Every structure is written in structure tokens, then in C-alpha cells.
Amino acid sequence: MSAQSISTHEVSAHATVAVSFKLLLGLYAIIPACLLLRLFDNWFWHDYLQYNLPSSPYHFILFQIMFGTPHIIASAIVLVSNTEYLNHYKRHVILMTLAISVAYFVGNLFIPYRALYVIVASWTVYHVLKQQHGIARGICRLPNRDYNVVLWLSVAAGLCVYIGIFLRQGLTADQTGWLKVVATLLCLALTVSTIKAQHHVHTSFGRWFLWSNVLLVLSSFYLYVQQYYFLAILVPRFVHDATAYVFYVSHDYNKHHAQPKNFIYRYAERCGVHVFVVLPVISFVLAFVLQAYGDTVVNAITQLFFGTEFYRVITVGLLGYLALMHYYTEAFTWKGDSPYRQFITFKK
């Protein structure tokens, strides 16, 4: 999800489980945890983790199943399983589907792969960090200018780290060096801007939130420079995905626990499955099935009926479509006037 500015005083008449800002802040404990792993690896384990962790999280399927894909699927389930939401946003979904289709064909025909990758990566990084800064803004109450400066410096630095990790095999040594220099300067500018911006934050809790988001980028950059690529991606990915699930599960509990309002929760109630676990279980199972077997099944079917195979229809085509749709719809489905928000409230 991609939260807008959120107030701790917002209350919904439908909500019985509140999203806890302390819980959301606690998710940032992944930052010191990963930094300690890096230090212990150097002090006690002779850099075992550095040499044995995957150089990219996408090198093995377990990471894809645990992070990224499940919360994207969960977001799609929330939208399409509640008919009033789908009807409310039907026009947006149709137009975005057309836009993605056009962009896919135009991109493949006219845009170099690396440029296309950077465009999608930019949207990914923006989506991840905008969610966290949007939530924190309700606590920090930063002026627009300071908020935007901190946000965009975070996105720019985060994009450098993202490119440095996922495109590094296609970069020359000079390009990698320049990328690290640019990222260093952006991180310094981000730190200075945050020091300036924190004077507008009048509570220690707000300052904790502000700096936690900044450290999300700074720690990822540090781990990238130290060549702990897995941990560098894990830090923001974990915080983003776990935060999204806090919202999704809270929403679904408040909407469905008293009286299930869609077929998923009516069936879950008959099976005695608690509301809290329904969406996580379904989304993780679907992520596993689609990632592990989706392309194989589709290729078997197309080979049987058409005598040919298609390139990664599920893992690139379907999941790529869902990811882009997720980035788009989450920018407005959690705004204050959204039907989603009547089932969300907050507490410190």
C-alpha cells in the first residue's frame, strides 16, 4: 500500500482493530539487525555471509515468495474480491491495463532494455519509499517543501543502490564507481536535509519515524557498498511489505470479522479459519504456486495445444502486470476519501 499523510486522530466507525504506529515503527528493527549481521560476519564468521548469501535476492525463489510478490497479490485480492471496490475503481483499472499493454509493446519495440528497466526500477523505489514517508508524514507533520526534499533525495539515493545491485553485472568498473559517488553525495544531502527538517518535528516519536525512514536508505547504501547485496535489498523490502500487510490484515479484519462480506471470508468462516490469517496464507500460497510452477504449467499447455512455448508468461507477464497495477492503484486506494479507509483507524 502507499499511504498518504495519516493522522493518529483518524477514527472509523467500522474499525475495531487499529493500526499501531508503534508496531509500524518496530518493523524498522530490521535495520540494526542487518547491520549487526554484517558486523558479526566480519568479526566472527570470516565473511561467510558475504560470500554465501545470494548476490541478488531474485537468484532464488524463496526470497521472491517471501517478499515482494505476496503483498502485491494481497493488494490485488483486496481490490478484486470486494465488488464495491472493483466497481468504484473499475475505470482506473481498465485505463491502467490499457496503458500497461501499450507501454509493454512500445517499450519492447523502441526502448532499450536498460532504459526500460531503470524506468520500472524508479517507479518501484518511489512506491516503496513513498509508502513509508507517507505514513511518517502524519506523525512528523513536515512542511511540504521539507517533506518533498527528504522524499526525493531518498528515492534518488535508493534508485542508485537498486541499479547498483540489479544491473551491476552490466556496469563497467567506472560506471559502478560513479554510481557510488553519486549515491554517496545523495546520502550526504539526505542526511543534511533531514537534520534541517527535524526542527519541524515536535515529538521524539515523530523524529524516530523520520530518521527511521532515512536510515532505511542509508543502511541499504552502506550494505550495498560493503557488498552485502541481499541484506541491502532485504531492509527496505521487509519494512515495506510488512507495513502493507499490517494495513491489509487490519482492513480485512474490520470489514469481515463480524459478518463476512465476500466469498473468501464466507468460505474461511465455514472452515473455521481466523480472519487474520486468511489473506497472508492465500497470498503466500499463490505467490509460491505462480513463481514455482506458473511458467511450467503455461508452457506445458501452450506446447500441447500450439506446439510452442512462451517466455515467462506468469513470472514476467502476469506478475509484472500485477506489480505495475499495484504501484498505480495503491497511490489512491488508501487516501482519506477511499472506501478502503472506512475500515482503517490508527493508534500510537
CB atoms closer than 10 angstroms to residue 19: 23
Secondary structure element (H or E) that encloses residue 74, with its range: helix 69-81
**pLDDT value of residue 9:** 45
**pLDDT value of residue 311:** 75
Percent of the chain whose predicted confidence (pLDDT) is above 70 = 93
Please report, for residues 60, 223, 239, 278, 348, the alpha-carbon distance to residue 191 in angstroms, rounded to integers and kept in the order given: 34, 17, 20, 40, 26
**CA atoms of 231 and 53, how far apart (whole Å):** 9
Query: Which residue matches cell numbers 506468469?
Result: 314
Domains of the chain by residue range:
19-347
Q: What is the mean pLDDT of residues 301-317?
A: 80
Cell of 266: 464466507
The string of pLDDT tens digits covering residues 266-275 is 999 999 999 9
**pLDDT value of residue 93:** 94
**CA atoms of 97 and 77, how far apart (whole Å):** 16
Q: C-alpha angle 243/249/253, rounded to 5°? A: 150
**65 vs 56 pLDDT, higher one:** 65
**CA atoms of 129 and 52, how far apart (whole Å):** 28
CB atoms closer than 10 angstroms to residue 37: 17
Identify the top-confidence range among 45-49, 219-223, 293-297, 305-309: 219-223
Secondary structure element (H or E) that encloses residue 278, with its range: helix 275-289
Question: Is the pLDDT reported for residue 61 higher than 70?
Answer: no
Instruction: Look at 123-132, 217-226, 238-247, 300-309 and tell me which has the smallest mean pLDDT.
Output: 300-309
User: What end-to-end distance do the CA atoms of the chain give, in Å?
Assistant: 19
**pLDDT value of residue 307:** 76
Question: Is the pLDDT reported for residue 218 higher than 70?
Answer: yes
Q: What is the mean pLDDT of residues 175-201?
A: 95
Classify the C-alpha dihedral 322-324-329-334 as positive or negative: positive
Q: What is the mean pLDDT of residues 191-198?
A: 96
**CA atoms of 160 and 186, how far apart (whole Å):** 9
Looking only at the bridges linking them, the beta strands covering 19-20 and 346-347 are: parallel
**CA atoms of 214 and 193, how far apart (whole Å):** 10
Cell of 166: 540489479
DSSP state of 257: S
**14 vs 98 pLDDT, higher one:** 98
The string of pLDDT tens digits covering residues 333-348 is 988 788 998 899 888 8
**pLDDT value of residue 52:** 86
Using alpha carbons, select from 317, 336, 329 the residue that is nearest to residue 95. 329
Instruction: Look at 80-84, 305-309, 322-326 and tell me which has the smallest mean pLDDT.
Output: 305-309
Mean per-residue pLDDT over the chain, rounded: 89
Question: Is the pLDDT reported for residue 56 higher than 70?
Answer: no
